[in-house]
């Protein structure tokens, strides 16, 4: 049994509001290196932890965690669209394993996902269907949110499940570090937006999809000019988090409250729970060693943008 961990920020703004070319080249180099490492590892299975941004999961039923036995990417913000290659039997067995381990998780036979899932598969593997993937949703934007400890325990259970398969497993955590883009909130939304958040947004009309895309792009442009227009990025928090992850000390996050994360690093920073779950899965397989790391605050993408990879010792 061998495993490779790759955590990578995603951003819907790539190609729409980009930083200067030297930064783009830097990020492209990080992705290319990770992709080469993954190709050399030649994974037989991917376990992908990622959030959603009110494109597949809504308040009609909002689970803290969900594993898909089938999944379809909608292709928002120009990300890849289409079916993910999900091994349904392995995904169902994973769900049973996780529940037997004491972690409640929802099941979806028709999971709809967005760029949070599609972008890492596209960037790191070259497409949605190159390697069988078990998609694991972690609610990172819709309060009430799961605490860090539950995300870690979810990852720990899935890591032990992966270890039982005797396969080369690539574990991916996809999410931003500090950031808070303009995501609607149920408590303050108008009636139309509330209806969308309650489920009608699952099949968003094309004109609303376009308006939503433009709204985020415009917010990014304003944020690039003035970082007081949204919650500011927090490089210090991001580096602290990366140090914990790289040293396999994610359990220290168990005592960190969701409110503290929101206040210090932004309401969308909860996406790091995908990284925490991925690292916990890696640790459950065996001791790991950090092999590469990247970090840079990129206001054009409204994100503390990072990557971290690790290999089994």
User: Which residue of the set 10, 53, 109, 115 is catalytic?
Assistant: 115
User: Which residue of the set 10, 53, 109, 179 is catalytic?
Assistant: 179
Active site includes 270? no
Contact assessment for residue 183 and residue 272, using Cβ atoms and an 8 Å cutoff: no
Active site includes 179? yes
Write down the residue that tokens 């409110």 correspond to: 259
Separation between Cα atoms, residue 143 and residue 225, nearest integer Å: 30
Is the preceding omega at residue 229 within 30 degrees of 0, hence cis? Answer: no
Sheet order of strands, 71-74 included: 81-83, 71-74, 111-113
Sign of the Cα pseudo-torsion (193, 195, 200, 205, in order): negative
- Beta-carbon contacts of 309 under 8 Å, excluding residues fewer than 6 positions away, are 4, 5, 6, 7, 34, 37, 290, 291, 292, 293
Question: What's 25-77 look like in SS3?
Answer: HHHHHHHHHHHHHHHHHCCCEEEEEECCCCCCCECCECCCEEEECCEEEECHH
- Beta-carbon contacts of 297 under 8 Å, excluding residues fewer than 6 positions away, are 178, 233, 235, 238, 303, 304, 305
Contact assessment for residue 46 and residue 169, using Cβ atoms and an 8 Å cutoff: yes
Contact assessment for residue 147 and residue 259, using Cβ atoms and an 8 Å cutoff: no
List active site positions. Answer: 115, 179
């Amino acid at each position: 049994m061998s495993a490779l961990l790759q955590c990578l920020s995603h951003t819907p703004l790539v190609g729409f509001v980009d930083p200067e070319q030297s930064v783009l080249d830097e990020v492209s180099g990080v992705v290319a290196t990770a992709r080469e490492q993954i190709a050399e590892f030649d994974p037989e299975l991917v376990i992908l932890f990622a959030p959603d941004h009110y494109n597949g999961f809504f308040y009609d039923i909002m689970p803290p965690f969900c594993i898909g036995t089938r999944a379809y990417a909608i292709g928002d913000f120009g990300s890849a669209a289409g079916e993910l290659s999900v091994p349904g039997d392995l995904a169902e067995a994973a769900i049973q394993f996780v529940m037997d381990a004491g972690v409640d998780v929802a099941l979806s036979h028709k999971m709809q996902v967005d760029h949070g899932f599609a972008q890492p598969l596209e960037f790191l593997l070259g497409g949605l269907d190159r390697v069988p993937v078990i998609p694991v949703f972690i609610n990172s934007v819709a309060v009430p949110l799961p605490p860090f400890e539950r995300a870690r325990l979810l990852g720990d259970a899935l890591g032990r499940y992966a270890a039982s398969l005797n396969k080369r497993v690539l574990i991916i955590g996809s999410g931003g570090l500090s950031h808070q883009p303009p995501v609607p909130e149920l408590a303050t939304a108008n009636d139309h937006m509330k209806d969308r958040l309650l489920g009608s947004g699952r099949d968003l009309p094309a004109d609303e999809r376009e308006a939503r895309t433009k709204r985020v792009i415009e917010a990014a442009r304003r944020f690039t000019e003035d970082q007081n227009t949204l919650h500011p990025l927090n490089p210090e928090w991001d580096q602290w988090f990366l140090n914990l992850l790289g040293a396999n000390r994610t359990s220290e996050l168990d005592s960190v409250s969701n409110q503290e994360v929101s206040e210090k690093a932004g309401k969308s920073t909860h996406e790091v729970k995908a990284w925490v779950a991925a690292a916990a899965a890696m640790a459950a397989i065996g001791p790991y060693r950090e092999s590469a790391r990247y970090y840079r605050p990129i206001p054009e993408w409204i994100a503390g943008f990072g990557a971290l990879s690790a290999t089994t010792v």
